[in-house]
């Protein structure tokens, strides 16, 4: 039979015919219950609320008719925020339905899940090779068609013939038998089975949707009847909105404050006529992984495996007149059971080794019950059934131990070098986190920008949010830790706005000229604050700290303790010289110590957590002096029975020590003297005993060398005997002194525990 050949085909035309949805041709329904096509609605952004906590609320609103679907595109990093914050509204009596979204897997994983894999840009022959056995319909340019099942795809042979005929061929099983078709002659080709045709179209749609970016599609379905308004809201990461200020001081000293907010559209969507609100405050916000599939690990339980028993081989009776019983070292656990020393072996070990019927009847290792004992034959090795490992498609899994640890709230196990470390975020409230301390937070308030905002994608805007006069006055602020010689030109102002002011830079203009930059702190409504913007080179300050003066004022003895209280005075002198032609108001920031009390001046202008401020008016060309006097107390305490004699003597000679306290200290000094005398006596006796012992070593050597009948030998022996007598006396003296020492130390402890005088 001659093969059927279709002339003048084109690969591109065949592809278009194979996927009608790509060129806009609708599918013909194949079943009565096919899912109907839901129209896609457009919901533009209508309102945005930006927070200075790194997040933003985005509100979309629009009209839909009947059942509709809204497709939103998000960066992969924003999907977690979307999943935990998405809110839906259907005001026309409709009802939100399921929200579907792409998983985190690369598009290659999704494409490989279809019946036709288009991942690697396959040729026509490669596509058809994947669906061997499927029925297709091919047509040539004249309209002649051929229908059959794909048997195989023939590739060109290697060699010179391949260059001349590089095209592929397909073999089809038709009603007339096998026929070969050259793919270069094919004009149109389609799958006969509608399900496969739809699967191929879906694969191409996924491929087209994933092109060019790392975006994920989130589809929101609304169900209802008629035309109505629907809304979608969600929270995602957004840049902090920032505030900057301009502060103008005119010749008369009037102060005007202007504030601008910087907002940034970092999305891939234009904002058109959007209502924008700026919220100050720090709502708690966090990230949680709700995007990745999580699988709970479960323990693996192995089924118990028992080997079949072998038919035993019975030996002849060698003792027909009686029966014997042998008991081994490791008796078994029953009739044909495991041997006693093999019961807890893992499955990889021979399960019934020495524990089944064998050459020894009812055999156990050396402990069989039978006519004759013996070693059982080992059972055949039963390998463990291989099991697949946990799935790795979605990345690392929790181990069972990790899962238990998390469920119990315990610490995680040691880090696995093969697993990437988890990203952590430092808590700004954690003192041990090493993060900078958070600045003073203002109350939560909202600033609504007048009029709608239009901002193209990847653009930023500076919008005015405040312009009004404030109450303020010029000051020169001196802080020796900032600049030792000159104060800083500054301004004391009061926030007269209807809302708090957030921190930000301030550009100061004085008399129409730029004067310097300052930093605005968080300022509450009606609160006064200071800002500084330049060095006041026309004013000089010399600060001199005098040595501390004071003395011990109170000495008292309480049970177990001796305590003293001292009163001190600190003096610091500030000499201010104004060389300008204008008067100055100098604000001195003096370091504040909580243990000190201000004596002079009687009252400070302001008190902060770290400084005490004093206001000093200085005329033009004049010089002023400010002396700050502070007073404070300090105390010392010592354990009474551990205080040295020098310490006790020092306190007894102070003018502040009263007679009753001196009497107690004198008694303690007396007991302390007895203790020191006993210690000195013991030390002297021990030194003498050591000297005698060293001399005895010398005498002992001489005795060994001298003849026993010589006078020298007798003299050495007598001296050695006399030294032994002296050693006994001195050892008795040491014992007596140690008893005295213990007695005096006990007396000191007992007296110190009850002593009391003021």
Segment 207-224, tens digit of pLDDT: 877 765 677 889 999 999
In terms of domains, do 511 and 559 share one?
no
Closest CA to 390 of 480, 298, 273: 298
Instruction: Point out the domain boundary residue: 486, 520, 537.
Output: 537
pLDDT for res 211: 67
Distance CA 416, CA 250 (A): 66
In terms of domains, do 145 and 45 share one?
yes
Of 165-179, 361-375, 476-490, 659-673, the least confident = 361-375
Distance CA 417, CA 616 (A): 65
Paired with 559 in beta bridges are: none
pLDDT for res 169: 87
In terms of domains, do 83 and 210 share one?
yes
Kindly give, in sequence order, each residue whose CB lies less than 8 Å from that of residue 344, ignoring residues fewer than 6 positions away.
Answer: none
In terms of domains, do 627 and 666 share one?
no
Model's pTM, two decimal places?
Answer: 0.58
Q: Which residue is listed with tokens 């021990």?
A: 686
* Strand, helix or coil for residue 109: helix
In terms of domains, do 231 and 275 share one?
no
Q: Is pLDDT larger for residue 375 or for residue 594? A: 594
pLDDT for res 182: 84
505-509 mean pLDDT? 95
Has residue 59 been placed in a domain?
yes
Euclidean distance between the first and the last CA atom of the chain, given in angstroms as a whole number = 131
Has residue 309 been placed in a domain?
no
Of 321-330, 489-498, 502-511, 615-624, the least confident = 321-330
In terms of domains, do 529 and 562 share one?
no
Work out the number of other CB atoms within 10 angstroms of the CB of residue 671: 20
Six token digits for residue 428: 């700004």
What's the domain range around 584?
A: 540-642
Distance CA 147, CA 138 (A): 6
284-312 mean pLDDT? 80
pLDDT for res 605: 92
Six token digits for residue 398: 């929790």
Six token digits for residue 188: 């149109």
Highest mean pLDDT among 56-60, 122-126, 291-295, 642-646: 56-60
pLDDT for res 88: 94
Has residue 379 been placed in a domain?
no
In terms of domains, do 97 and 230 share one?
yes
Predicted confidence band of residue 315 (pLDDT cuts 50, 70, 90): low
In terms of domains, do 481 and 571 share one?
no
* Strand, helix or coil for residue 417: coil
Q: At what angle do helices 659-705 and 711-754 cross, to 10 degrees?
A: 160
Task: Please say whether the beta carbons of 491 and 297 come within 8 A.
Answer: no
Predicted confidence band of residue 264 (pLDDT cuts 50, 70, 90): very high
pLDDT for residue 325 is more than 90: no
Has residue 418 been placed in a domain?
no
Has residue 362 been placed in a domain?
no
In terms of domains, do 511 and 612 share one?
no
Distance CA 741, CA 171 (A): 116
What's the domain count of the chain? 4
Of 367-376, 447-456, 577-586, 736-745, the least confident = 367-376
Has residue 369 been placed in a domain?
no
pLDDT tens sequence across 413-463: 444 444 444 433 333 333 333 323 333 444 677 888 888 999 999 999 999
pLDDT for residue 539 is more than 60: yes
Has residue 523 been placed in a domain?
yes
In terms of domains, do 103 and 18 share one?
yes
Instruction: Point out the domain boundary residue: 537, 556, 576.
Output: 537
pLDDT tens sequence across 547-569: 989 888 899 999 999 999 999 99
Distance CA 568, CA 548 (A): 7
φ, ψ dihedrals at 292, nearest 5°: -75, 140
290-308 mean pLDDT? 80
Highest mean pLDDT among 122-136, 326-340, 352-366: 122-136
Work out the number of other CB atoms within 10 angstroms of the CB of residue 466: 18
Mean pLDDT, all residues of the chain: 78
pLDDT for res 347: 37
In terms of domains, do 231 and 255 share one?
no
Instruction: Point out the domain boundary residue: 616, 642, 668.
Output: 642
Has residue 620 been placed in a domain?
yes
In terms of domains, do 168 and 59 share one?
yes
Query: How many Cα atoms are found within 13 Å in the side-chain-facing hemisphere of 371?
Result: 11
Percent of residues, the chain, with pLDDT higher than 70: 75
Distance CA 97, CA 88 (A): 9
pLDDT for res 408: 54
pLDDT tens sequence across 691-737: 999 999 999 998 888 898 888 898 989 998 999 999 999 999 999 99
């Amino acid at each position: 039979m001659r093969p059927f050949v279709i002339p003048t085909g084109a690969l591109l035309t065949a592809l278009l015919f194979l996927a009608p949805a790509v060129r806009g041709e609708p599918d013909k329904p194949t079943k009565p219950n096919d899912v109907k096509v839901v129209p896609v609605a457009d919901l533009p952004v209508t309102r945005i609320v930006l927070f200075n906590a790194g997040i933003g609320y985005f509100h979309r609103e629009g009209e839909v008719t009947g059942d509709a679907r809204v497709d939103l595109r998000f960066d992969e990093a924003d999907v977690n925020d979307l999943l935990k914050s998405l809110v839906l509204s259907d005001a026309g009596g409709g009802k939100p339905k399921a929200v579907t979204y792409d998983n985190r897997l690369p598009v290659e994983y999704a494409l490989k899940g279809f019946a036709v894999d288009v991942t690697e840009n396959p040729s026509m022959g490669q596509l058809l090779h994947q669906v061997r056995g499927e029925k297709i319909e091919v047509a040539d340019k004249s309209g002649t068609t051929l229908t059959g099942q794909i048997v195989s795809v023939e590739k060109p042979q290697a060699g010179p013939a391949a260059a001349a005929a590089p095209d592929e061929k397909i073999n089809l099983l038709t009603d007339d038998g096998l026929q070969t078709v050259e793919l270069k002659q094919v004009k149109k080709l389609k799958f006969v089975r509608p399900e496969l045709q739809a699967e191929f179209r879906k694969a191409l749609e996924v491929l087209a949707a994933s092109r060019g970016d790392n975006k994920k599609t989130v589809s929101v379905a609304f169900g209802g009847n008629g035309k109505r308004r629907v809304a979608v809201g969600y929270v995602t990461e957004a840049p902090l909105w920032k505030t900057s200020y301009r502060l103008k001081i005119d010749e008369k000293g009037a102060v005007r404050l202007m504030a601008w907010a910087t907002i940034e559209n970092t999305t891939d969507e234009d904002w058109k006529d959007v209502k924008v609100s700026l919220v100050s405050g720090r709502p708690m916000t966090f990230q949680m992984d709700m995007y990745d599939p999580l699988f709970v690990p479960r323990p693996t339980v192995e089924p118990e495996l028992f080997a079949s028993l072998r038919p035993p081989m019975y030996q002849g009776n060698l003792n027909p007149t009686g029966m014997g019983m042998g008991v081994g070292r490791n008796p078994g656990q029953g009739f044909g059971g495991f041997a006693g020393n093999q019961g807890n072996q893992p499955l990889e070990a021979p399960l019934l080794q020495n524990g089944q019927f064998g050459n020894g009847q009812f055999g156990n290792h050396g402990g069989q019950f039978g006519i004759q004992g013996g070693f059982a034959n080992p059972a055949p090795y039963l390998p463990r059934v291989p099991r697949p490992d946990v799935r790795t498609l979605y990345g690392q899994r929790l181990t069972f131990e990790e899962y238990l640890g998390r469920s119990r709230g315990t610490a995680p196990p040691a880090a696995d070098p093969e697993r990437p470390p988890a990203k952590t975020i430092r808590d700004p409230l954690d003192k041990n986190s090493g993060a900078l301390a958070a600045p003073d937070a203002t109350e939560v308030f909202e600033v609504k920008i007048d009029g709608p905002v239009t901002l193209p994608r990847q653009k930023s805007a500076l919008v005015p949010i405040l312009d009004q006069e404030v109450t303020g006055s010029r000051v020169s602020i001196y802080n020796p830790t900032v600049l030792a010689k000159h104060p800083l030109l500054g301004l004391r102002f009061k926030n007269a706005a209807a809302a708090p002011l957030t921190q930000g830079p301030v550009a100061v203009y004085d008399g129409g000229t730029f004067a310097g930059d300052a930093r605005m702190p968080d300022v509450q409504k009606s609160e006064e604050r200071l800002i500084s913007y330049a060095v006041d080179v026309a004013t000089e300050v010399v600060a001199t700290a005098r040595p501390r003066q004071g003395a011990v004022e109170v000495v008292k003895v309480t049970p177990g303790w001796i305590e003293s209280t001292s009163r001190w005075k600190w003096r610091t002198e500030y000499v201010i010289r104004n060389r300008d032609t204008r008067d100055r108001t100098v604000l001195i920031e003096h370091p504040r110590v909580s243990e000190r009390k201000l004596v002079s001046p009687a009252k400070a202008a302001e008190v902060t957590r770290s400084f005490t401020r004093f206001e000093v008016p200085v005329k033009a060309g004049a010089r002023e002096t400010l002396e700050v006097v502070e007073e404070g107390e300090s105390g010392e305490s010592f354990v009474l029975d551990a205080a040295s004699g020098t310490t006790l003597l020092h306190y007894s000679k102070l003018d502040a020590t009263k007679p009753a306290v001196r009497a107690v200290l004198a008694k303690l000094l007396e007991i302390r003297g007895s203790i020191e005398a006993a210690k000195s006596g013991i030390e002297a006796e021990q030194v003498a005993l050591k000297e005698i012992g060293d001399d005895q070593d010398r005498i002992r050597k001489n005795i060994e060398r001298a003849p026993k009948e010589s006078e020298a030998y007798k003299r050495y022996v007598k001296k050695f005997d006399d030294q032994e007598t002296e050693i006994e006396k001195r050892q008795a003296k040491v014992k007596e002194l140690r008893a005295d020492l213990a007695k005096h130390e006990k007396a000191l402890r007992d007296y110190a525990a009850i002593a009391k005088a003021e």
